[in-house]
Structure 1
Amino acid sequence: MSLMQPISLYDEISLDIREGRGISIECDNISIPVDRTNLAFKAAEAFFKTTGINNKAIIKIKKRIPVAAGLGGGSSNAATVLMALNELTSLNLSANDLAKIGLAIGSDVPFFLVGKPCLAKGRGEILEPVELPKFWYVLINPGFPVSTQWVYRNLNLTKNIENINI
């Protein structure tokens, strides 16, 4: 179980759909892939495949969230693309439908569709909104990337107390 909290740090995404087919991505940070491995690309691709829409998506990303900082930058961008395409195409897919598409892209994409503090269970697909008191966060970036996958793989979440597993 994880407690997830949205913060006011975000990348700026602009998205345009046009006649034609395909997906193009531009980013002001050269360390961000602009190919099929980009989660925003995957979101547009999944949206078009799920809905049967055949348009061209042009996605521009102004990177503000530090890369590989564990803040969900790629997942939040994917969620933003899903919401934008839903609005631009006037399909009005439900939040559940968008979450299903998002979950196939990444475990925390559905959280960024909710936009509220949540307890996340399972792989992140089971979200329970929670009320939290207001407080300040201090984010410290060490200046080098840290893979979230590496952190979770190497984090010992079990205390050495009988019958307790955190």
Structure 2
Amino acid sequence: MHALTLPAPAKLNLMLHILGRRADGYHELQTLFQFLDYGDELTFSLREDGQIRLHTELPGVEHDSNLIVRAARLLQTQSGCRLGADIRLTKRLPMGGGIGGGSSDAATTLLGLDHLWNLHLGEECLAEIGLSLGADVPVFVRGHAAFAEGVGERLQPVELEEPWFLVIAPQVSVSTAEIFSDPELTRNTPAITVRSLLARGGHNDCQPIVEKRYPQVRNALSLLNKFVPARMTGTGACVFGSFPNQGEADKVRRQLPADLPSFVAQGRNISMLHRSLGRLAQEVSA
């Protein structure tokens, strides 16, 4: 195989509780991840000279600083692989949106190049590599809806309903570091169990801070709340509401302002990246 195209799906944080601040400055948290059937797309082409070339520019992101390039080079280093890749990105997920664009791209790069380079390192190893790139990368590497603890790296797979979501993407990039450093951020939410979470639901401790700092997010939440209970994912800026079917989600989307970016997608417990890899494995074995 000399080329491979794979999706990099979005995720939603269905809740995000901040339990406290650790000695290293990071925060102990609990969150619930679910994937969406919507995201970026990456194409990897094999190079024999060991070079990693990303041929898609992102505004304000240097080539060597892009998580895609960093993931590919880290995989080379950890595996000792001397092969390289040309990489092309179709970007659909907003940057700073809280739906995992950069982390998902990095995870797809690790899994895609592991396949293209015939490394067969396995999810455990790839998730460990991914954690050094970002706390959200391992959940994309593992590809299953999960309850996460620690800084987001301790994952417990869960089976959730798979509703349709309307996601609004206010045209603002929210800095995660800025939100987590805000002195008014709630940092003492009591820990809960998966069972109690699934029974009673949760909330997002970051949402009040983001609403206060970013009127675009506050306005989007207010707008969506007219139709369904609206929530923010991660540290924002994207907000979402759930619907029992695609038709009802599309109906509300048509009532939103034309200049407000949004999309409709189904929540999935198995990511479309892993479903694509599963089909690829079946084709190879056949």
TM-score by length of 2: 0.53
Looking at CA atoms only, which structure, 1 or 2, has the larger radius of gyration?
2
Amino acid at match of 1:156: T
Secondary structure at 2:165 match in 1: coil
Match of 1:19 in 2: 48
Q: 1:139 aligns with which of 139, 142, 167?
A: 167
Cα distance in structure 1, aligned partners of 2:165 and 2:87: 30
Q: Is the 8 A contact 1:25 1:34 kept in 2?
A: no
Q: 1:86 aligns with which of 114, 120, 123?
A: 114
Secondary structure at 2:55 match in 1: strand
Q: Is the 8 A contact 1:157 1:165 kept in 2?
A: no
Amino acid at match of 1:10: G
Any stretches of 5+ residues in structure 2 without a counterpart?
1-29, 193-286
Amino acid at match of 1:2: T
Match of 1:3 in 2: 32
1:47-82: per-residue Cα shift (whole Å, max 9, x none)?
Answer: 100110112221111100011101110110010011
Cα distance in structure 1, aligned partners of 2:34 and 2:179: 18
The runs of at least 4 consecutive aligned structure 1 residues that moved more than 6 Å come to none
Q: Indicate how the Cα distance of structure 1 residues 151 and 61 shifts in structure 2: closer, same or farther if over 3 A, else same.
A: same
Identity of aligned residues (%): 37
Q: Is the 8 A contact 1:26 1:34 kept in 2?
A: no
Cα distance in structure 1, aligned partners of 2:81 and 2:41: 24
Match of 1:101 in 2: 129
RMSD of equivalent CA atoms: 1.8
Q: 1:72 aligns with which of 100, 114, 123?
A: 100
Q: Indicate how the Cα distance of structure 1 residues 120 and 59 shifts in structure 2: closer, same or farther if over 3 A, else same.
A: same
Match of 1:54 in 2: 82
Match of 2:155 in 1: 127
Q: Is the 8 A contact 1:108 1:124 kept in 2?
A: yes
Q: Is the 8 A contact 2:83 2:117 kept in 1?
A: no
Aligned residues: 161
Cα distance in structure 2, aligned partners of 1:158 and 1:25: 42
Q: CA deviation at 1:165?
A: 6.5
Match of 1:156 in 2: 186
Secondary structure at 1:111 match in 2: helix
From the two aligned structures, give the one with the greater strand fraction: 2
Query: Which range is displaced more, 147-156 or 32-41?
Result: 147-156
Any stretches of 5+ residues in structure 1 without a counterpart?
none
Match of 1:111 in 2: 139
